[in-house]
Amino acid sequence: MSYSRRQFLVYAGLGTYAALRDPAAAASAPEFPLRRRKGKAPGFKPVSPSAEDALRVPDGFRVDLVAAWKDPLGVAGPSGAEQFGFNADFIAYFPVDSLTGGKNPNEGLLWVNHEYPNPLFVSGYRGTGTKTEAQILAEKACVGGSVIHVKREGGRWRHVPGGKHTRRFTAAYPAFSVTGPAGKVIPQVYGTLANCSGGRTPWSTALSCEENFQDYNSTALFGMRWSDVSGQQLDERHYGWVVEVDPFGELPPMKHSALGRFSHENTAWRLGPTGRLVVYMGDDAQDQYLYKFVSAGSYRAGASRAEQRKLLTEGTLYAADFAAGKWLPLDLSRSKALRDAGFKDQADVLIRTREAAAAVKATPIDRPEDCEVHPLDGTLYVALTNNSKHGNVYGQIVRVVEDGDNPEGEGFRFEIFLAGGPQSGLACPDNLLFDRKGNLWVGCDISSRSVGKGPYEPFGNNGLFVVPTSGPSAGDAFQFASGPADAELTGPWFSENEETLFLSVQHPGEESPSLDKMTSHWPDGGNAVPRPAVVAITGFR
Ligand code: FEO
Ligand code: CA
Ligand code: CA
Ligand code: CA
């Protein structure tokens, strides 16, 4: 058997020299075994990649189903009995005694984002024809967020319906006032949607990030589009903000325009040397930017929550220039480039943040998903999930180090902490979370249509991984969980004592072509329609 030059280059490039020597071996394709590390995983025996329609966790851990789509919340909202929303994403746990400084690890409130509907399951829309008003209302009602009351009794977590603070946020309600410069143009908006990941503030509120708001005016996502009945497009300027919600209901909900408008993934904060609140944020789209917001005022621990939240209303928004290692201010009074680009005032800059970042020549990067601040050294880890425009199919995690360890400053350096691929054992890093020892928890998001196919074949279903950041296993990925068919494990969040990991199982069965051919029946089994849900995992020591 002879080899063409092209075949030779392919094989040589992949390092399979044996194929050249052994004609029989040439018939089989070169293989890429996952090179997962043999070192010591932090506190568990890793699970294997799996294609099973099940949530798998290591032996010795317990999974409690806390709340799933359609579960009754035991409260009435503006349109009747409220239900837990669809496609659970970000989760933040608030100890029930948070406002008096308590850290109750066994009873609290969960804020949960509900990112987007799957019309097949939610409204029965099959992707062709015009949506009815009832279908659009069903879809609007299933997104936004939920505040639910949860409790651990006898070692088992459960949802307590009808809690004092239990309520829903949907695409229709409540009203949000818009703070900061864009509030002069758009003072108030109704509802929130596309709520992806988020954060928890030092004053015990949740930040919920509006991400792919543009999908609701188009048919790109499962034939979404809510303008079929009214003929009216959503005013996209009402979405794409960081939304602040007080789970305890003391403070009114707000959208903070000073943090910019784009496909917000999440927020991660740090206090600077003069007490300014620094909030890091990614824009999850191909060739978009990494941002940080530096508050004008300083954090005062003894101030009221209403006073503390004002930190998010005024400050400087920066976009990152990775080539120069500079944070570029998106401030009309400081930037000639913004004035030359025709931005008329600071509200205009914030409403069109992406265009402003492009005008100052920030660096387009590979879909920045979650970012998190390392609890021990203050450096920022950013998941760049992938970028098909550049053939980056596996993504990477970047570590950003502020000059002089000063997050209020305007200079930084960076390195690649982990490159996705068979050599590291994970692909498409997305949600990040640090435990207090500094281990990085990484939820992977291989798109459901690509799971188990092509370059993603060895990885199996999407999983959750633990990557130590120091010691002999630093940078090695250990798999902690494997999700059901088509699902992504999102929103990981530890209780304060780290005995419980809350986790969302998002979009199980998303690739189902019809209700007769569902690809997942998680969590109910049998022939059930799959239901996105929040689980609590215990067994940590
Ligand atoms: Fe909704 Fe960027 O993930
Ligand atoms: Ca994400
Ligand atoms: Ca996170
Ligand atoms: Ca993703």
The predicted-structure confidence for 370-401, as pLDDT tens digits, reads as follows 999 999 999 999 999 999 999 999 999 999 99
- Locate the ligand 1 atom nearest the alpha carbon of residue 445 and give its number: 3
Q: How far is CA 526 from the centre of its chain?
A: 30
When pLDDT is averaged across residues 535-539 and rounded to a whole number, the result is 98
- The 3-class secondary structure across 93-116, one letter per residue, is EEECCHHHCCCCCCEEEEEEEECC
Q: What is the pLDDT of residue 41?
A: 75
Ligand 1 atom nearest the C-alpha of 197 is: 1
Which helix (H) or strand (E) segment holds residue 198: the answer is strand 195-200
| DSSP states of 39-107 | S--SSSPPPPP--SSS-B--TT-EEEEEEETT-EEEEEETTEEEE--SSEEEEEEEETTGGGT---SSE
Span 259-303, pLDDT tens digits: 999 999 999 999 999 999 999 999 999 999 999 999 999 999 999
Ligand 3 center from residue 482 Cα (angstroms): 18
Q: Which atom of ligand 1 is nearest to the CA of 212?
A: 1
Atom of ligand 1 nearest to the CA of 211: 1
211 CA distance to ligand 1 middle (Å): 7
Q: Which two tokens stand for residue 153?
A: 């009794």
Give the number of the ligand closest to the Cα of residue 368. Answer: 1
CA 98 to chain centre: 24
Whether the Cβ atoms of residue 275 and residue 218 lie closer than 8 Å to each other: no
Question: Does the pLDDT at position 7 exceed 70?
Answer: no
Tokens of 184: 């002069």
Ligand nearest to the CA of 285: 1
What 3-state class would DSSP assign to 14? helix
Q: Is 209 in the pocket of ligand 1 (CB under 6 A)?
A: no
pLDDT of 28 over the 70 cut: no
> Could you give the percent of the chain with pLDDT greater than 70?
93
- What number does the ligand 1 atom closest to the CA of 263 have? 2
- Report whether 207 contacts 201 (CB < 8 A): yes
**Whether pLDDT at 13 is above 60:** no
**Ligand 2 midpoint to CA 486 (Å):** 15
- 8 Å CB contact between 463 and 46: no
pLDDT at residue 224, as a whole number: 80
Residue nearest to atom 1 of ligand 1 (CA): 196
Cα distance between residue 205 and residue 199, in whole Å: 9
**What's the pLDDT band for 29 if we cut at 50, 70, 90?**
low
Where residue 179 falls (left for φ over 0; alpha for ψ -120 to 50; beta otherwise) is: beta
Length of the chain measured in residues: 541
Q: Is the CB of 350 under 6 A from ligand 1?
A: no
Nearest C-alpha neighbor of 465 from the set 429, 423, 507 = 429
Q: How many angstroms separate the CA atoms of 341 and 351, rounded?
A: 14
Q: Which of 411, 394, 392, 525 is nearest to 456 (CA)?
A: 394
Residue 196 CB less than 6 A away from ligand 1: yes
Q: Is the CB of 115 under 6 A from ligand 1?
A: yes
Distance 335 CA to ligand 1 centre (A): 30
Residue whose Cα lies nearest atom 3 of ligand 1: it is 196
For ligand 1, is residue 370 a contact (CB within 6 Å)? no
Nearest ligand for residue 387 CA: 4
**Residue 171 corresponds to which tokens in the numbers above?**
């695409």
3-state secondary structure of 526: coil
Q: Tell me how far apart the alpha carbons of residues 514 and 211 are, in angstroms, rounded to a whole number.
A: 27
Tell me the mean pLDDT in the region 81-102.
98
Average pLDDT of the residues of the chain: 93
Closest atom of ligand 1 to 369 CA is: 2
Reference 358, options 240, 262, 294, 257; nearest CA is: 262
Q: Tens of pLDDT along 224-254?
A: 889 877 778 899 999 999 999 999 999 999 9
CA distance 27 to 94: 57
Atom number of ligand 1 nearest to Cα 367: 2
**pLDDT at res. 280:** 99
Task: For 389, list phi and psi in degrees, rounded to 5.
Answer: -65, -25
Q: What share of the chain is helix, strand, coil (3-state, %, to 5)?
A: 15, 35, 50
Yes or no: say if 481 and 488 are a contact pair by the CB < 8 Å rule.
no
How confident is the model at residue 38, as a pLDDT? 60
CB of 215 closer than 6 angstroms to any ligand 1 atom? no
Q: Residue 22 CB: number of other CB atoms within 10 A?
A: 10
CA of 56 to the centre of ligand 2 (A): 21
Instruction: Give whole-number Cα distances, 237 to 89, 210, 404, in Å.
Output: 23, 11, 37
Give the distance (Å) from ligand 4 centre to CA of residue 383: 10
| DSSP for residue 121 | H
Contact 492, 502 (CB under 8 A): yes
Gap from CA of 259 to ligand 2 centroid (Å): 18
CA distance 368 to 414: 14
Maximum alpha-carbon separation in the chain: 79
Q: Which ligand number lies closest to the CA of residue 442? A: 3
pLDDT over threshold 70, residue 5: no
Ligand 1 lined by 384 (C-beta under 6 Å): no
Q: Which of 212-221, 433-442, 443-452, 525-534 has the lowest mean pLDDT?
A: 212-221
Highest mean predicted confidence (pLDDT) among 18-27, 102-111, 216-225: 102-111
Which ligand 1 atom is nearest residue 194's CA?
A: 1
Read off the pLDDT of residues 94-131 as tens digits, 9 standing for 90 and up. 999 999 999 999 999 999 999 999 999 999 998 888 88
For the CA of 211, the nearest ligand: 1
Identify the nearest ligand to the CA of 264 by its number: 1
Q: State if residue 246 touches ligand 1 by the CB under 6 angstroms criterion.
A: no
CA of 153 to the centre of ligand 1 (A): 33
Instruction: Please give the model's pTM, rounded to 2 decimal places.
Output: 0.94
Pairing mode of beta strands 80-83, 368-373: unpaired
